[in-house]
């Protein structure tokens, strides 16, 4: 006889025991239709924050306010079922407002037995989103959720007290994630501002801000006069040729693999040679490589000559708009001949080093916060898998 599987989570707070109770959605939720509140603010669904004021995510939207008399009122703690474009289609609301009549508003039949924070995390969990495949219809990018089918879904539900504990705990993790995201964003903005002020603006020869003790104009140099190109030492390896190892394998987008051997053992400048990112700029196009590593033929390899700082030249190249240097047709490309003629403004070697040291310190802080943020996001994902049945 097959043993009955216990309905308990892998991870649980002390003091709670026993199976979670299985319930149908129709016995937990009820659809709410509450109209006639056109004086309230209009809400829209946000991937990050749930239901928010429409102007926060939909700028300069022109709409007919006469239609708002048909909009449904949403109260704090309720959920809005919208198009399944993200988050599983269930958006939690912290605010009061009105939203499109095309959406379904749901609330708890018995609020004394259910915690909305707990259900917010149920509805955004990977397990729940995947389960919606069976109850959605329509074309791929505009799938809708069948509320009638949703009512038939089964959920394993803990006591109200356990729901509160789980919701409170995961919200704390969320708050930590938000805090580190803000710190990370602040540092990124700070670095961007410094890059604008510590390098001369177009048509000028001195920066807006400068370390004490440095003066005089920066001098214009061609890139080919300040670095040596080592492109002939590169060697591409097809995926099938790469023997797994500990050495980074660099391409146009940075490290793309790890291999058993290396080509370089030096601090060098790598500049993307091809790829859409040269124009789109979703991530860096110029970066420093240190230690032992391999480089394929999708990144130029350069070393600063005497009197020039690798890090400073790298940051100078990262700041450029490469649209005017693009020689590609099917996809953007920077050939070596064009790169050699890129113009750079450079101060004394000592000032180059000072600038790079400050930017490098900021980069280290950015990396630290990015790692903390990634760790917390991974931790939250694991909690969502282990704290629910």
Structure tokens at 81: 């079922």
Sheet of strand 79-81: strand arrangement: 29-32, 104-108, 79-81, 90-92
| Band of pLDDT at residue 134, cut at 50, 70 and 90 | confident
Distance CA 173, CA 192 (A): 29
Structure tokens at 13: 């707070």
Instruction: Give the containing element (helix H, strand E) for 272.
Output: strand 268-272
| Band of pLDDT at residue 305, cut at 50, 70 and 90 | very high
On the question of pLDDT at 2 being above 70, the answer is no
When pLDDT is averaged across residues 308-315 and rounded to a whole number, the result is 97
Say if CB 331 and CB 275 are below 8 A apart.
Answer: yes
Is this model's pTM higher than 0.85 or not?
A: no
Long-range own/partner contacts, residues 364-367 (CB < 8 A, 24 or more apart):
365/187, 366/184, 366/187, 366/188, 366/191
Would you list the DSSP string of 62-114? ---GGGGGGPEEE-TT-EEE--TTSGGGEEEBSS-EEE-TTSEEEEES-GGG-
Instruction: Give the containing element (helix H, strand E) for 148.
Output: helix 147-150
| Band of pLDDT at residue 64, cut at 50, 70 and 90 | low
| Band of pLDDT at residue 122, cut at 50, 70 and 90 | very high
Instruction: Give the containing element (helix H, strand E) for 311.
Output: helix 310-318
On the question of pLDDT at 84 being above 80, the answer is no
Q: State the pLDDT at residue 83.
A: 63
Of 3-12, 171-180, 292-301, 375-384, the one with minimum mean pLDDT is 3-12
When pLDDT is averaged across residues 87-105 and rounded to a whole number, the result is 88
When pLDDT is averaged across residues 357-377 and rounded to a whole number, the result is 94
Instruction: Give the containing element (helix H, strand E) for 280.
Output: helix 277-280
**N-terminal to C-terminal alpha carbon distance within the chain:** 23
Ramachandran region of residue 16, left (φ > 0), alpha (ψ -120 to 50) or beta? beta
On the question of pLDDT at 49 being above 90, the answer is no
- Paired with 105 in beta bridges are 32, 80
Say if CB 349 and CB 383 are below 8 A apart.
Answer: no
| Band of pLDDT at residue 60, cut at 50, 70 and 90 | low
Higher-pLDDT residue of 239, 141:
239
Burial 52-71 (b: 16+ CB within 10 A, else e): bebeeeeeeeeeeeeebeeb
Of 162-166, 286-290, 323-327, the one with minimum mean pLDDT is 323-327
DSSP label at residue 142: G
On the question of pLDDT at 244 being above 60, the answer is yes
Say if CB 268 and CB 288 are below 8 A apart.
Answer: yes
Q: State the pLDDT at residue 88.
A: 62
CA distances from residue 88 to 126, 136, 168 in whole angstroms, order as listed: 9, 10, 21
């Amino acid at each position: 006889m097959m043993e009955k599987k216990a309905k308990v989570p892998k991870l649980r707070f002390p003091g709670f025991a026993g199976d979670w109770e299985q319930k149908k959605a129709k016995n937990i939720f009820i659809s709410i239709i509450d109209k006639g509140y056109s004086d309230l603010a209009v809400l829209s669904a946000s991937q990050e924050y749930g239901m928010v004021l429409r102007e926060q995510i939909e700028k300069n939207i022109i709409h007919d306010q006469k239609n708002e008399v048909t909009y449904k009122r949403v109260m704090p703690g309720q959920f809005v079922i919208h198009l399944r474009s993200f988050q599983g289609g269930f958006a939690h609301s912290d605010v009061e407002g009105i939203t499109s009549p095309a959406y379904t508003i749901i609330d708890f039949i018995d609020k004394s037995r259910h915690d909305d924070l707990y259900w917010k995390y149920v509805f955004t969990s990977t397990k729940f989103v995947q389960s919606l495949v069976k109850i959605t219809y329509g074309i791929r990018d505009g799938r809708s959720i069948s509320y009638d089918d949703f009512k038939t879904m089964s959920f394993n539900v803990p006591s109200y007290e356990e729901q509160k504990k789980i919701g409170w705990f995961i919200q704390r993790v969320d708050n930590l994630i938000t805090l580190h995201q803000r710190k990370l964003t602040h540092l990124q903005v700070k670095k961007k501002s410094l890059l604008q002020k510590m390098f001369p603006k177009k048509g000028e020869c001195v920066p807006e801000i400068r370390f004490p003790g440095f003066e005089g104009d920066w001098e214009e140099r061609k890139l080919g006069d300040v670095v040596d190109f080592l492109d002939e030492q590169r060697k591409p390896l097809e995926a099938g040729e790469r023997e797994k190892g500990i050495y980074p394998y660099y391409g146009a987008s940075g490290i793309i693999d790890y291999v058993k051997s290396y080509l370089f053992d030096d601090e060098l400048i790598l500049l993307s040679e091809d790829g859409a990112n040269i124009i789109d700029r979703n991530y860096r196009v110029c970066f420093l490589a240190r230690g032992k590593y391999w480089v394929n033929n999708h990144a130029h390899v350069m070393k600063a000559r005497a009197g020039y700082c690798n890090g400073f030249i790298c940051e100078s190249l990262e700041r450029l708009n490469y649209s005017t240097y693009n020689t590609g047709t099917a996809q953007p490309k920077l050939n070596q001949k064009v790169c050699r003629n890129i113009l750079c403004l450079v101060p004394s070697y000592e000032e180059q080093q000072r600038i790079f040291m400050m930017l490098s310190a900021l980069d280290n802080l950015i990396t630290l916060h990015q790692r903390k943020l990634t760790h917390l996001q991974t931790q939250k994902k694991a909690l969502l898998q282990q704290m629910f049945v």
